[in-house]
Amino acid sequence: MTPTTAFIAELIRAANEADRLSPFEVKRLLNRSIAAIGDMREQTGMRGRNRTKDVVIDLQVAAARGDSLPASEIRDALLDAADIIRTLKIVLDGKE
């Protein structure tokens, strides 16, 4: 299992246990996701062109509000992050 695949699995597991995550864990996972998405976008040559609809902005807002988000919003944010990272991994794997 690659580190990226392991991270995707970690995000999905965390989403399934969103009600048991501490605010620190939520912020840590979302911030790691934001960094991973930025790095992967750079590798693919893709950038968030339309800033108003960029999922990274939503993830940044969720990370900042990590201590006050309901479990359903935490779950959604973690699943969105996992989905974007998975999609970028597919793109990067296709470039090899």
- Give pLDDT tens digits for 38-57: 999 989 887 655 554 688 89
- pLDDT tens, residue by residue, 5-38: 999 999 999 999 999 999 999 999 999 999 999 9
Average the pLDDT over 58-81 and give the result: 94
pLDDT band of 83, cuts 50, 70, 90: very high
Closest CA to 36 of 96, 93, 83: 83
What pLDDT does residue 52 have? Answer: 46
Structure tokens at 89: 């991994």
Residue at 18: amino acid letter: A
pTM here? 0.89
How far is 29 from 10, CA to CA, in rounded Å?
9
Structure tokens at 44: 């693919």
